[in-house]
Structure 1
Amino acid sequence: MNSDKEGSVRVAESPQCDNETAPIDPPPDGGLGWLQVFVGHLALFNTFGWFNSYGIFQDYYTEELQLPLSAVSWTGSVQVFLLALIGMFSGRLFDAGYFRSLIAIGSVLQLLAIFMASLATEYWQLLLAQGFCGGLGAGILYCPIIANVATYFRRKRALAIGITTSGAATGGTIFPIIAQQLPGKVGFPWTMRVMGFVVMFNATVMLLFARTRLSPRSRGPLVEWAAFRELPYTFYTAGAFCLLMGVYLTYNYINTYGRIVIGMDAETSLNTLFIANAVGVPGRIIPALVSDAYFGPFRTLVPLCVGSSVLYFGWIGIRDQSSLYVFAVLSGLVNGGVQAISMAGLPSLTKDLSKVGVRSGMIMTIGSIGCLSGPPIAGALVDAADGRFMYMQIWAGCIMLLSACFVAASWFARTKQGG
């Protein structure tokens, strides 16, 4: 039987769950869940796949608009900031049963952002369209998609979320290919519109197949303050904040580094972004398999964050094209794993799946400050060093190491509580 909101299965009310929902059946770990993983993969293709390709636009905007790197970075960081900021609101609306409505609204805003950005000729127009409108659209989509997949899986949750988040790598591979092949033939504005048509097709498929499993939780607070009294949740929130400051810097700056420091031409340097995104597919799925089979998300995420930190420090010594390609492969693998497992860890902090949307969204909203500040800080450090990247690389390495420490503290506190 379908509910009147998004086709979730209704069950009788019970006083055991805030007088709102009955005890929830265990996740099926498959079945219709894999279709929702496919829907989620397309959503991540449209959101983080687009964001992970921002190096394409950053290079174009700095050349065409003659703006400092730190200024142009704001458009990219505003996108990710808004995606994370409204996670608390979109997550609560997901819990309330508005899943497919969120997909529709978010997709419309994303399409509006892409097509308006293709018409923009000034920086403020790009910031308004691609930054604010695109970020809001992606934010309405992202947290509900991750939360929905989590409700279908328990033993295979990391794998399911890993495959879902690998959509960011798929999109981050396809969009740079389009950007590499089309501008010389149709110009950059029409190249963006072609990307918009790809997003439109994916959004249509998502709307056709998206379904929720749980009954709507119509009542409940927007913020569950009691969650912060749980040490594992609080430490993980701090770890996610640090992680979101640093994990996307490779995608923002690797092709710019290749062009400015190593002297690669714009088209060749774009290959590094293409590679970093492409290897993110196995980079997300392999750690997810390891997490499900052996260690769980916390113990898998800690070495991944440490590995990301080591790679950022190692980036300092890269001075030739071959080494940068190797860095692109390793960084894409490790940072892809960081993104996937960090998302897989969010539902593990929530025993009541009817609250997975709001509790995951709370962490994303706090992490949004890291998303907003990370790329501009990195760009400002590059500008302050007169185009040298060492300060940025050191800062990124330190922030990822700090993230590993907080996640380790979360795992330790969870272990002490018998979780």
Structure 2
Amino acid sequence: MVNEREPLLAQRQNSESWISEIRAHEVARTAQDNEDYPIDHGYVAWMQVLGGFIIFANSWGLPNAFGVFQTYYVNTLMPSVDAASIAWIGSIQLFFTTVGCLPAGVLLDRGYLKSLIAAGTILEVVGLILTSFFKSFWAILFAQGVCMGVGSGLLAIIPVVILAMFFEKKRMLATGLASTGASVAGIVYTLPMRSLFIRIGFAWTVRAFALVILLTNLIAFLVMRLQRQYGSKGSDFGFHHFKDLPYSAFVCAFTLFVASSFVPFFFVQEYAIGLGVSKDMAFNLLSIMNAANIFGRFVPNYVADRYGGVNTLLPLSVACIITMCMLPLAQNLPGLIAISTVYGFLSGGVIIIPGPTITDLSPDNTEIGMRLGLAYLVAAFGGLLGNPLSGALKGHETNAVRNFSGVWFSGAAIMAAGFLALVITRWLKLGSVAAKGRV
């Protein structure tokens, strides 16, 4: 039974109680002595970054690419369904992606890495194939929202946990580099889709998309590994982790960021078309935003390795709030390109820094998967409600600026609440909002 539950730790049965008590830095030091699994350097460690890049692309990268589906569904496939309702497809997908992080985190704590990659890939591919055949709202909601979302959820937490095992001093940077996969996916997956929808049709485009995910995830399956010393029985499931008040406050901030940060990604194309921008250029706006997001996913992370995730998120979130409030001022293509570029860069850090920050706030390496999973479980409700609620504030006038002002200000207000939760996190951790310290 032990071998089945903990396949990678069968040879360590006699030392389980010892391992379960040691701290994260002690696990890292022990792993450092193993030539096969060095910390912060080496071939194996950087192959985890490659595998994490792929997994990020094929999990968190899918919401970044949903804008191209949103626009196609609204204008072509389901023109009778309003945009706010169609946004539920992407939000359900994001919801299950984040909810799935909890069971995935528990299973990772017990050593089931390869099984998670295989199961998540199968569900994503099946969901896309079903989407290629379906034409009704509810059928696509199930296939793309639920099936793909659950598959992505089994994958989404893997890079954060694995990179926390292989990197210590460069943890934020390594995670940021891997997470650029999500932004690259937003470019590589969306740019060809518009033309492919016209050339070979929606169905075959989506099937080709499924094949790409299958083949790339196979690479991640082959290269990704667990540390030999990692974990024991894993953390017991329970909400007692929320007794850690700085952790709880940060989870609230994370939830509010998930609820708000994807709003421009979901609605910028529709806003651009409402302003009279051509459909082709509106599609390119999402790619521009994702291109800027690439740099935003590792430049702030480099800073966060030195000053801490919370300290870095505070100014980033303020800048994102200001940028979203400026979107109504973008009333032509040059303005949209400028603000999309700025927001794409700033939101990169807001989206990715919370994951490794939670690992820094975890005192025990054997609990990383569980604590990340619980955080993503709570944040899932932000992803579920944030975009549809903001989308419901969209007006129905002929003036696109007035129609979308409520959407942008709603996203900014939710992120402002997240900023306040960050301030509380810092206060609880350091004893004072103005205190100096890395957190």
CA distance in 1, matches of 2:360, 2:48: 19
Task: Report the Cα offset of residue 304 of structure 1.
Answer: 0.8
Cα 1:302–1:8 change in 2 (3 A) is farther
Q: Would you say 1:24 and 2:27 are equivalent positions?
A: yes
Task: Report the Cα offset of residue 73 of structure 1.
Answer: 0.5
Cα 1:107–1:8 change in 2 (3 A) is farther
Task: Report the Cα offset of residue 211 of structure 1.
Answer: 0.5
From 188, 200, 212, the equivalent of 1:186 is: 200
- Does the CA-based 8 Å contact 2:52-2:158 persist in structure 1? no
Aligned partner of 2:419 in structure 1 is 404
Task: Report the Cα offset of residue 216 of structure 1.
Answer: 4.5
Aligned partner of 1:247 in structure 2 is 261
Task: Report the Cα offset of residue 48 of structure 1.
Answer: 1.8
Aligned partner of 1:117 in structure 2 is 131
1:20-67 residue CA offsets vs partner (Å, 9 max, x unmatched):
999624361122221111101101111122210111001111122121
Aligned partner of 1:332 in structure 2 is 344
Aligned partner of 1:138 in structure 2 is 152
SS at match of 1:155: coil
CA distance in 1, matches of 2:354, 2:288: 22
2:41 maps to a residue whose letter is: G
Query: Which stretch has the larger CA shift, 263-272 or 378-387?
Result: 378-387
CA distance in 1, matches of 2:389, 2:119: 31
- Does the CA-based 8 Å contact 2:101-2:156 persist in structure 1? yes
Cα 1:21–1:412 change in 2 (3 A) is closer
Task: Report the Cα offset of residue 385 of structure 1.
Answer: 6.9
Aligned partner of 1:278 in structure 2 is 291
CA distance in 1, matches of 2:423, 2:23: 33
- Does the CA-based 8 Å contact 2:93-2:146 persist in structure 1? yes
2:292 maps to a residue whose letter is: V
Aligned partner of 2:215 in structure 1 is 201
Unaligned runs of 5+ in 2: 32-38
1:355-411 residue CA offsets vs partner (Å, 9 max, x unmatched):
100001101000100000011111111147786011111111111111112112212
Aligned partner of 2:384 in structure 1 is 372
TM-score, structure 1 normalization: 0.94
SS at match of 2:46: helix
2:213 maps to a residue whose letter is: V
1:29 maps to a residue whose letter is: D
2:237 maps to a residue whose letter is: L
Aligned partner of 2:177 in structure 1 is 163
- Does the CA-based 8 Å contact 1:77-1:376 persist in structure 2? yes
SS at match of 2:134: coil
- Does the CA-based 8 Å contact 1:106-1:136 persist in structure 2? yes
Cα 1:340–1:152 change in 2 (3 A) is same
CA distance in 2, matches of 1:265, 1:404: 36
1:192-244 residue CA offsets vs partner (Å, 9 max, x unmatched):
12211211111110111110114453354222x33212221011011011111
Query: Percent same amino acid among aligned pairs?
Result: 25
Q: How does 1:39-58 map to 2 (within 5 A)?
A: 39-58=51-70
Q: Would you say 1:296 and 2:298 are equivalent positions?
A: no
Cα 1:48–1:220 change in 2 (3 A) is closer
SS at match of 1:57: helix
- Does the CA-based 8 Å contact 1:111-1:200 persist in structure 2? yes
CA distance in 2, matches of 1:316, 1:144: 38
- Does the CA-based 8 Å contact 1:83-1:138 persist in structure 2? yes
Q: Would you say 1:315 and 2:327 are equivalent positions?
A: yes
Aligned partner of 1:238 in structure 2 is 252
Cα 1:356–1:263 change in 2 (3 A) is same
SS at match of 2:27: coil
Cα 1:121–1:227 change in 2 (3 A) is same
1:268-323 residue CA offsets vs partner (Å, 9 max, x unmatched):
1001001001111111111111112x311110111111111111101121111110
2:180 maps to a residue whose letter is: S
Cα 1:10–1:413 change in 2 (3 A) is farther
Aligned partner of 2:83 in structure 1 is 69
Cα 1:9–1:170 change in 2 (3 A) is farther
Aligned partner of 2:271 in structure 1 is 257
Cα 1:105–1:177 change in 2 (3 A) is same
Task: Report the Cα offset of residue 109 of structure 1.
Answer: 0.3
- Does the CA-based 8 Å contact 2:109-2:367 persist in structure 1? yes
- Does the CA-based 8 Å contact 2:322-2:412 persist in structure 1? yes
1:275 maps to a residue whose letter is: I
Task: Report the Cα offset of residue 143 of structure 1.
Answer: 1.3
- Does the CA-based 8 Å contact 2:92-2:384 persist in structure 1? yes
Task: Report the Cα offset of residue 181 of structure 1.
Answer: 2.8
1:41 maps to a residue whose letter is: F
- Tell me how large the CA RMSD over aligned residues is: 2.2
Unaligned runs of 5+ in 1: none
2:27 maps to a residue whose letter is: I
Aligned residues: 414
TM-score, structure 2 normalization: 0.89
Aligned partner of 2:34 in structure 1 is none
SS at match of 1:24: helix
1:311 maps to a residue whose letter is: T
Cα 1:405–1:384 change in 2 (3 A) is farther
1:209 maps to a residue whose letter is: V
